[in-house]
Chains A and B, each alone.
Chain A
Amino acid sequence: MEADQLRLFKQITLDYFSKLAPDDEPALGEPYLQFGEARVLDYTSWVEIRGEYDGCLYLTSPTPMLEELLGINGEPEVSERTLLDMCRELSNVLAGNASQAFGGHWEISVPHSLSRGMVNGLELPESTFVMPIRWRDSESLLVVGLTQPSERRA
């Protein structure tokens, strides 16, 4: 993974929020590394990647963030169903962004949309690079999780 690719991935994800509400620019928080249990919020849009390393990219968001997105998209109903629909929309955006940023050298899986309980069943990388995205008083986390090359499955 190259820094330029990561930068592009980050930027086009931020652009998604900017285009939704030009008056509410998203702010990128200070990134950090997380070890052990990966950080997961209420809804997670997730793709697997395979290349120099194996791993995943995901955007995990709290319910209020998805509620805001539903409102902007003109969806008056807030329910588990519509929230998961919004999560699927984000998953498609995430997969598209990942293909744009990392395409060529990386295989990218179809996107997955997961509520918190569904994520608990996944085996997430133990070391992750977390980039907080603050928007409209909520904070989503854009996460890169890579595994050691030696852990790669045959």
Chain B
Amino acid sequence: MSTGAIRQSAVYEVSQSLGDLPESLRMRSLEWGVLFSVTGRHTVAQIGELLGLPKDARDAAFGRLLDRGLLRERELTYSEYLRAAATSDDSEPKNLQEFLRSGAAWRRETSESTAVVAPASAPAEASASKTVEQNSLSLESEDDPDFDPTVTRAVPTMSREEIMAFRPLSSPSPRGRKEAKPDTEAPSTAGPDTPAPQVKTLSLRALMSYIMDRAPDLSSGQLDIYRVFIRVDTDLLKRNGITTLRFKEDRRVQDPELQSAISASLKSTLGLAFPDEAYV
């Protein structure tokens, strides 16, 4: 397996059209999920974050896809690499100057491995356009007369949504071998297919907690949860790898069809809508 070679800042693309995959190809659902998430524009770290995968599972899945020859790594330009590195806990050795320049300096050393922080001059409310600016933050910040790379700043942490809105690398050619355009031209490549779709991830634990909190007691809450899931197609659940569900266990659901089925059942069974906190 190639897990040892998986770098969080690496950007992969599929090596052949998904339509050309042999029908006999069989993989675990996690590997299919990763394969379908590979865009040639997002880093390993971003895809792992998008799918809510632990690092080991993510790297193992990428490793197996590489072993099967289904992925190949994209070559990055200097500016692309800087943006890619800012999405990951890149453990590549750097000296202080390199570290501060790489963009990784703006990440706080916390357990939130992808928590990216904005420079002190950036407003706390990061809009999509501001997020774009932040992606090349360290280089731009050095032009600020007040910028001092040796000073540690207390700066706001980006939300998960903002992380997922991280500006992807510019699109490669269909088979990915054409060199990406320089960073300065990136906005012009923002065609209809450039922005990655925002996939909302549903946390079943958060949803179950929400239902439990509204029930008079534990048994009632568990029964309510069961009632909701009775109406959800079990094939759909199984397709998403859910064959058992413990009431305190978390499962992340990205499949819009399954989200929709659970939402419909929640509404018809308990008269409730997904709460905001059910999304992570």
Neighbouring B residues of A126 by C-beta, 8 Å: 234
Q: How many angstroms from the CA of A147 to the CA of B232 in the assembled complex?
A: 11
Known pairs A1-B223, A3-B223; A32 contacts B243 (CB<8 A): no
B244 touches A35 (CB 8 A): yes
Any A CB within 8 A of the CB of B127: no
Q: Closest CB-CB distance, A126 to chain B, in whole Å?
A: 4
Check A33–B223 contact: CB distance below 8 A. no
Cβ of B238 and Cβ of A35 under 8 Å apart?
A: yes
What's the tally of chain B residues with a CB closer than 8 Å to chain A?
Answer: 25
B17 CB within 8 Å of chain A: no
Given known A129-B223, A146-B230, contact A35–B217 (CB-CB < 8 A): no
- Rounded to whole Å, the gap between the CB of B212 and the closest CB of chain A is 12
Separation of A4 and B222 alpha carbons in the complex (Å) = 12
Closest to A52 in B: B227
Interface size counted on chain A using CB atoms at 8 A: 22
Nearest Cβ on chain A to B174's Cβ, whole angstroms: 39
Query: Does A30 interact with chain B (Cβ within 8 Å)?
Result: yes
On whether the beta carbons of B247 and A31 are closer than 8 Å, the reply is yes
Contact, CB under 8 Å: A34 / B243: yes
Chain B stretch 229-262: residues in CB contact (< 8 A) with chain A: 229-232, 234-235, 237-238, 242-249
B189 within 8 A of A: no
Q: Distance (Å) between the CB of A38 and the closest chain B CB?
A: 10
- Residues of A contacting B: mostly: mixed
Asked whether A36 is an interface residue with its Cβ less than 8 Å from the other chain, the reply is yes
Q: Would you call B173 an interface residue if the criterion is a C-beta within 8 Å of the partner chain's C-beta atoms?
A: no
Q: What residues on B are CB-neighbors of A129 within 8 Å?
A: 222-223, 226
The answer for the CA separation of A6 and B222 in the assembled complex, in Å, is 11
Q: Distance in Å from the Cβ of A132 to the closest Cβ of chain B?
A: 11
Q: Which residue of B lies closest to A53 (CB)?
A: B230
In angstroms, Cα B226 to Cα A126, docked, is 12
Q: A3-B219, A129-B223 are in contact. Are A32 and B247 (CB under 8 A)?
A: yes
B220 within 8 A of A: yes
Q: Digit string of A1-35 for contact with B (CB within 8 Å is 1, else 0)?
A: 11110110000000000000000000000111111
Which residue, of A7, A33, A144, has the highest number of chain B Cβ atoms within 10 A? Answer: A33
In the docked arrangement, what's the CA distance between A12 and B230, Å? 25
Residue among A32, A37, A127 with the most chain B CB within 10 A? A127
When C-beta atoms are compared, the residue in chain A nearest to B223 turns out to be A3
- Judged by a CB distance under 8 angstroms, whether A148 is at the interface is yes
Q: Which has the most chain A C-beta neighbours within 10 Å: B232, B244, B245?
A: B244
Tell me, yes or no, whether B225 is within 8 Å of chain A by CB: yes
What B residues does A127 contact at CB under 8 A?
226, 229-230, 232, 234
CA distance in complex: A31, B212 (Å): 14
List residues of chain A with CB within 8 A of the CB of B219: 3-4, 6-7
**Pick the contact of A33 from B231, B238, B244 — CB < 8 Å?**
B244
Which of A3, A4, A53 has its CB near the most chain B CB atoms (within 10 A)?
A3
Which chain B positions have C-beta within 8 A of A35?
A: 229, 234, 237-238, 242-245
Known: A3-B217, A6-B219. Is A34-B230 also a contact (CB below 8 A)?
no
Interface string of A132-147 (1 = CB under 8 A from B): 0000000000001011
B245 touches which of A7, A33, A53, A144 (Cβ 8 Å)? A33
- B230→A148 contact, CB < 8 A: yes
Most buried by A among B230, B245, B248: B230
The 8 closest A-B pairs by CB, nearest first: A3-B220, A126-B234, A3-B219, A33-B245, A35-B234, A32-B246, A129-B226, A35-B237
